[in-house]
Structure 1
Amino acid sequence: MSDPLEKVSSNKSFEGELTKYKFKSAALGGLSANFNLFLPTNASPSNKVPVLVYLAGLTCTEDNGFVKGSFLGPASSQGIAILFPDTSPRGAGIQGEDVDWDFGTGAGFYLNATNPKFSAHYNMYTHIALELPTVIEAAGIPIDWKRQSIFGHSMGGHGALTMYLSSPQKQYRSASAFSPVSNPTKCPWGEKAFAGYLQGGVEEAKEKYDATELIAKNKEPVHILIDFGTADNFYKQNQLLPENFLKAARDANYDEFQVRVRSQEGYDHSYYFISTFASDHVHFHANFLKA
């Protein structure tokens, strides 16, 4: 069982409140976990608000999204909370977890590890989908967990798409992504992560952790928006593969109203790109969160 929340800091922003919390996470093997939570001004015990979960990319922490993403203003105007989890466990002390920037600390890939070396701590899927809603609700924070959507950037875009498509009972109403790792079983980042975290490697990952594989098999209606930049070096290096996801979606008979993939001319992989289209994404989710 996870420990209760401890408030670390709080700041007023766009008439709402941005608060950093920490707690000892059972899902992450008893390690201390941080997250940030933005509550709009209309949130109260008598008015629980919908929530957007933002998953950040490789090397990021729980802070990158709210500092650089330009999400808080649009979220405040729509009366939507935003949850900013971390990207991995911190301080597990596993041999080799800090050797490379794209694996281990800061690179949890939003999965539940099955390799025994990592399985005690690297359970970001459970941490985000189950643990955080439970501990936040237990703290009496006024969020309506029946109205959740999810979005993310790069590795976090991968996490958002896969958690949306694989979650039971459609936990999330919609998903969007900036420059997502869309077909990770066929790119170097994903191949490396899955070989390390999963006993079955890439073959195991296809079942739950590859958005392109998941959309191809999905039979339910979906609401997905993806943006990527044509000047993104990681796109050019075939780490992202958004066209693979789009083809799989179209082959599965999803039209542009259910799955929209937009190429943005001249934009790169940075938060300059994300902040430009942040409002688009918040308003996209508002259509479903406020319905």
Structure 2
Amino acid sequence: MNRIERHAVFQGWQDVYQHQSQTLGCQMNVGVYLPPQVETEKLPVLYWLSGLTCTEQNFITKAGAQRYAAEHGIIIVAPDTSPRGDDVADDEAYDLGKGAGFYLNATQQPWARHYRMYDYIVHELPALIEASLPATQERSISGHSMGGHGALTIALREPGRYRSVSAFSPIVAPSQVPWGQKAFAAYLGDDQEAWKAHDTVELLKSASERLPLLVDQGLADDFLENQLRPELLRAACEGTGHPLTLNLRPGYDHSYYFIASFIGDHIAHHAAALKR
């Protein structure tokens, strides 16, 4: 990995690395926060998946997470949200193509060549991080909106791989809402059975691991009723007995102001699991 940015923050370093991804077939940027404890020991890693239109920059510049990561001794890895490059397929809309990878492996053209974000997040990126940085193999995963969808579905599909999972404003039932239906039809095709493998509400029906879900949702979120629908997550968890903490926050919207307000709680949640 080639480091292209470095900023001192809370006695640690906020870096941005660039590397050639074999999985995605393009060059990718990854934000990495290294807390001060890396000077003397290897540390566990929290993977953060951002939402629609984001790059690796949004979380590292807006969430204020470095303070809490330094306090708890956790590396935070914040990758980009899609493949990038002139030869990567794209769409004029903000919710498809670049910046909208949806953390799955596309099977339909023209997307299948590069849009393999699931394999990138689950396999290639952790292997790179653990080989290149002072990181252990203890991992947790979190994210926002589309990234919240990614965090929840990846954790449910990969039992034993993550110590904990959380999400802000996640798309919990993409098969039932416009954002997910549009992306899934484009990336995965019209067979809605294939969609279920990337739908949190559907995955809960057969989850083999009872990893507790921590979810924060703002009640002033413009996308609450049409795209996010946390009541579907609550019903699915109640129906299967899956542990869920769903915090509904009055007055908070979909922005990073919301994330910054509660990111400390989420990092403490992950620290408790990663350090046990």
TM-score with structure 2 setting the length: 0.97
Alignment of 1:144-159 (within 5 A): 144-145=136-137, 147-159=138-150
Question: 1:101 matched to which residue of 2?
Answer: 94
Specify the SS of the correspondent of 2:227.
coil
Structure 1 letter corresponding to 2:11: E
Structure 1 counterpart of 2:199, from 194, 197, 210: 210
Question: 1:251 matched to which residue of 2?
Answer: 239
Question: 1:186 matched to which residue of 2?
Answer: 176
Structure 1 residues 43 and 94: alpha-carbon distance in aligned structure 2, compared to 1, 3 A threshold: closer
Structure 2 counterpart of 1:34, from 26, 29, 32: 29
Structure 2 counterpart of 1:221, from 205, 210, 219: 210
**Which of structure 1's runs of 4+ aligned residues deviate more than 6 A?**
none
What do the CA deviations read for 1:33-73 (whole angstroms, capped 9, x no partner)? 000111111114x6210110000000000010011111110
Is 1:142–2:114 an aligned residue pair? no
Is 1:290–2:275 an aligned residue pair? yes
Is 1:49–2:49 an aligned residue pair? no
Structure 1 residue 92 displacement after superposition:
5.1
Aligned length, in residue pairs: 276
Structure 1 residues 92 and 166: alpha-carbon distance in aligned structure 2, compared to 1, 3 A threshold: farther
Give yes or no for contact 2:50–2:145 (8 Å, CA) kept in 1: yes
Q: Distance in 2 between matches of 1:69 and 1:175?
A: 17
Structure 2 counterpart of 1:8, from 4, 9, 16: 4
Structure 1 residue 199 displacement after superposition:
3.1
Q: Distance in 1 between matches of 2:175 and 2:228?
A: 11
Q: CA RMSD in A?
A: 1.3
Q: Distance in 2 between matches of 1:239 and 1:124?
A: 21
Is 1:63–2:54 an aligned residue pair? no
Is 1:81–2:69 an aligned residue pair? no
Structure 1 residue 98 displacement after superposition:
2.8
Specify the SS of the correspondent of 1:112.
coil
Give yes or no for contact 1:173–1:223 (8 Å, CA) kept in 2: no
Question: 2:229 matched to which residue of 1?
Answer: 241
Give yes or no for contact 2:88–2:114 (8 Å, CA) kept in 1: no
Specify the SS of the correspondent of 1:43.
helix
Structure 1 residues 201 and 84: alpha-carbon distance in aligned structure 2, compared to 1, 3 A threshold: farther
Structure 1 residue 200 displacement after superposition:
4.5
Give yes or no for contact 1:191–1:202 (8 Å, CA) kept in 2: no
Structure 2 letter corresponding to 1:91: G
Give yes or no for contact 1:92–1:121 (8 Å, CA) kept in 2: no
Is 1:118–2:108 an aligned residue pair? no
Structure 1 residue 266 displacement after superposition:
1.1
What do the CA deviations read for 1:1-37 (whole angstroms, capped 9, x no partner)? xxxx1111111111111111111111112x1100011
Give yes or no for contact 2:143–2:150 (8 Å, CA) kept in 1: yes
